[in-house]
Structure 1
Amino acid sequence: MPTAFEISARAVRQAASVLADHLQDGLPFRELRPLIHAADPALMRDWDALGASVTTDIDRNLSFTATRLTKAGWLTRANRTWRLTGLGVEALHVYSDPVAFFSEAGTRYDHWRTGRVFFDAAAKLLSELPDDRWVSVEDLAAEYEVDPEALAACLQGRAPRAGTSRSPLTARRVLASRCSRPKPTPGGRCLCAMSCTTKPPPASTPCGR
């Protein structure tokens, strides 16, 4: 009998696989859910067979465990719509086994959780700034002493800004930022101390590459 972890892994990776066919607009969870079960009809049966060892149904469990994917930068969820990111598409190709896929997402989630205060501070600062300037992910990561790759991934998994369909990260090495006036960061440094430019990222730079 498959374990709860193995069934969760199947559900999460199957969700990502379905979303790979809907990269432009994503899917509301109410539309995503039946497509997952159609692709893997045994999910609900295997989950229910676990009996009292689980305390929620498979769909609620999926909604909870998918948080691993958002913190890994593989998935965004906004207005109840789920979208796979460029990193999520890449992860599907790299981790064909559901358990390996889910485990890697969990490792990345644990890394985010360990440095959550710093990741959230960087994301908060970014969310307060307009899109008229650009600064490297490395500079922003150095400001909060976090890994730039992990920061880039974390930002990809955050919900898009209000009124947009984009995540806060528009390219792997560039982020929207403003340096026209001094603005101390929580770390005490002025954002203007970071190297920035008015030149936007190349239009051909794929998100998450």
Structure 2
Amino acid sequence: MTESTRPTKRGRQTLEAIDAAARKVIAEKGFLKMTVADIVKEAGKSPASFYNYYDSKEALLEHWARQFQSEARDRVLVAEESAPAEPWPRVQIAARAHWETYRERLAEMVGVYQLAMINDDFAKVWDDLCEEPIAGIARSVERAQARGYCPGENPRLAAEAIVAMLNQFCYEKLANGRAATVDDEACIDTLAVVWFRSIYWKP
């Protein structure tokens, strides 16, 4: 969406309806199976209304993803500054933040993840989305190693493995219409335990 196609006050309601409809369809069907026809049918709008704001469903997703990147970067910085000193509550808070962010931004996460498999540009977007948590977890591994935990682990590789686990678990539990039936607290607890035990162990 360019500056020239940003909605006027009168058009904002239409754009919000289109975005809400696209999020619902992605959550139910996935991005790759979704069509513009699905979006406008769900929104109760005409195809012309969609193309007034987006050139394609890929353009819609890229617009969302770039917004999300900026917000995610800010959230990581705030979380690191306010996190408690002890490792277990830090991991609990971080696991909850990742789960809740994925749930809140399910359309972006599912859409970019699926499109990254077949589109180099979106593969780069996915890498960018993952880089912030990877960098943060790698720093936490280094801090843990300074206290005698997980000797010999490669901080970067450990962080990449943890983020891959987080994302795949969230995808399996929340995507394709499953989000409404999931026990959020049980899933967050499981993520936190697996994450914690991956780092905070000693020989």
- Give TM-score scaled by structure 1 length: 0.34
Higher relative contact order (CA 8 A, sep 6+): 2
More helix by share: 2
- Give TM-score scaled by structure 2 length: 0.35
More strand by share: 1
